[in-house]
Structure 1
């Protein structure tokens, strides 16, 4: 399995404002890049916080990219995956539409009635007691043939993936704006590292829109 974290932050490293509302950080060139990255992936993964805040569809928008997927024998759209320990995904969320298959990864702490409701809209993966065990959940996704994984946030999930050593690449668009705020979400939230910090190797820098695209691989 190959896991790519893709994100866009302000120049000061924020994913959005302290209100946690979606902010347009990048422009058309980066939107097209993200669409291509989705098209090259077997699955697109987000945390439930992103689903609740932004209600994304997580689908490839360019029809020619969808046609390319079909020509190489892949499904028209990549699968969508929500990491949702307690089962907070609304049943009317866009990510549960029939545009593409969806997996919701839950922990044992998710209520039974919630599981039953979500099971009508998605394939359920249960891994972990109070929180989703990401290693077990991603192993289950791999058993479904999902090998190339794109992670789109948010910061809590991204930190957790780095914490358990699942990230292979980080692709980060840094926009030309300052958001600020001690309570605004950053690229990698969570408890934070105090030792044995993950190390990255810079592979590429590209000017894009009015910002910069940085591409790193994670050192083993």
Structure 2
């Protein structure tokens, strides 16, 4: 499985404001790039915090890209995946509609009631005791045919995936905004590293809209 983290940050590395409100950081050219990356992926992954804050749909918007997926024998839309240890994804969330297959990855601490409600709208994957065991969950996704996975946030999930050694590359659009705030989410939140910092190799740098797109490969 090849795992790509894709994100848009402000010039000071923030994903959104301290209120966790969605902010338009990139423009039309980057939106189109993200749509192409979704279309090239077998699954799009987010954490439950992103679902509760933004209620994203996570579908490919360009009908021509959907048709290209059909022509190569894939579903029109990539699968959508929510990492949600306690099973608190709202049952009316956009990501649980019938536009595409959806997986909700929970841990053992998610109640049976919540699992059953979510199972009415999605495939529930149980992995881990208190928190989702990301390696086990991704192994199950790979067994279901997910070879390229796109991760769209948020910062807690991205940190956890990097910590677990599951990320192969990062594609980060850095936009022309300053957000600030010590409590505003960053690209990689979580507990943070204090040693053995992951190293990145810069593969490319490209101007997009009024910002810059950076592509890094995670080094072993």
TM-score tier after normalising by the smaller chain length:
over 0.9
CA deviations 1:31-83 (Å, max 9, x no partner) are 00000000000000000000000000000000000000000111110000000
Residue pairs, 1:132-143, within 5 angstroms? 132-143=132-143
Secondary structure of the corresponding residue to residue 121 of structure 1 = coil
2:112 & 2:22 partners in 1: Cα distance? Answer: 31
Residue pairs, 1:10-25, within 5 angstroms? 10-25=10-25
1:79 & 1:43 partners in 2: Cα distance? Answer: 4
Residue pairs, 1:1-220, within 5 angstroms? 1-220=1-220
2:5 & 2:97 partners in 1: Cα distance? Answer: 23
Secondary structure of the corresponding residue to residue 214 of structure 1 = strand
Q: TM-score, normalised by structure 1?
A: 1.00
Structure 1 ranges of 4+ moved more than 3 A:
none
Secondary structure of the corresponding residue to residue 66 of structure 1 = helix
1:119 & 1:162 partners in 2: Cα distance? Answer: 28
Secondary structure of the corresponding residue to residue 113 of structure 1 = helix
Q: TM-score, normalised by structure 2?
A: 1.00
Deviation at 1:8, TM superposition (A): 0.2
Deviation at 1:135, TM superposition (A): 0.4
Secondary structure of the corresponding residue to residue 99 of structure 2 = coil
Return 5+ residue gaps in structure 1 as ranges: none
Deviation at 1:94, TM superposition (A): 0.2
1:3 & 1:167 partners in 2: Cα distance? Answer: 5
Secondary structure of the corresponding residue to residue 216 of structure 1 = strand
CA deviations 1:140-193 (Å, max 9, x no partner) are 111101110000000000000000100001000000010000000000000000
Kindly tell me the number of residue pairs found equivalent between the two proteins.
220
2:73 & 2:143 partners in 1: Cα distance? Answer: 18
Return 5+ residue gaps in structure 2 as ranges: none
Deviation at 1:131, TM superposition (A): 0.3
Secondary structure of the corresponding residue to residue 49 of structure 1 = helix
